[in-house]
Amino acid sequence: MADLLLTGKTVLVTGGTGGIGKATAIGLAALGARVPITGRDRIRAEVAAADIRAESGNPSVDVFAADLSSHAEVLRLAAEVLDDYPRLDVLVNNVGGFWAHRHVTADGLEHTFALNHLAPFLLTNLLLDRLKADAPARVVTVSSGAQAMGKMAFDDLQGARAYSGQRAYNQSKLANVMFTYELARRLEGTGVTAAVLHPGVVRTDFGAEDSSAMFKLMLPLVRPFMNTPTEGAATSVYLASSPEVEGVTGRYFTNSKAKTSSKASYDAAARLWHLSADLVGLAAAQQI
């Protein structure tokens, strides 16, 4: 295909082994990008990469194995990416999940908050110098319409006193939006933009590791009405590649259109940033 938008560009997609992430990687590879993907299991990630190469017609799909709920794994991933790629044009923070019950990571943090918010927060900060060096560059973060139901429990971010899987997920998706807004503010004038999106309700294995009884009951009823992973990936691909959003930053998108996010998303973003930096051990000198 001629005039591919992303020829010569490198786009890192986290959580690219299935669902929206894999469909996003296919879409970006089809546009000519070199697309490294991450996955917890190397074998599964290698199988996914082979599928992405075959479906996109692009052989430039690479694999990194990392459990991004672990700070040490995020640090290792960032170091490997910086070693392997002299340039990085786009970071797509796609990895995430839902757990009905409270789980604790190797760092002693609640799993939903650690994977859905702290992982992209830390990885983005670690890769920002490379992104800025290759500006114009983009950071695209996958949130959810659940952000509208989210509330930041600053007195109990880890759900240690009272845990609800849905509440934890909503909070983490709100955190994605708040992170993006503060990131965009801090990146003003650097040539790196930050956007966040709702991918729609998509048919994936989302929540399969630890589903609630209600989720299991309702899924067969609503599944036929859900979007395909390709449809869910469309806004991520658009924000990572389209000339229409060159220079557009600090915005929330649905169906590739800028929308207003929840009222709560416009408050206390700086507070969340500082708390997040403390939780991942990111010194002020390492931040933007």
Catalytic residue positions?
Answer: 169
SS3 286: helix
Helix (H, G, I), strand (E, B) or coil at 10: strand
Task: Using only the alpha carbons of the chain, give its radius of gyration.
Answer: 17
User: Residue with structure tokens 């110098």?
Assistant: 129
Query: Rounded distance, CA 53 to CA 170, Å?
Result: 34
Which of 103, 89, 74 shows the shortest CA–CA distance to 14? 74
Tokens representing 183 are 């990131």
Q: Which residues contact 167 (CB under 8 A, 6 or more apart)?
A: 151, 153, 159
State both tokens at 163. 């845990």
Planar angle of CA 274, 144, 34, nearest 5 degrees? 85
**Contact predicate 192/186, CB 8 Å:** no
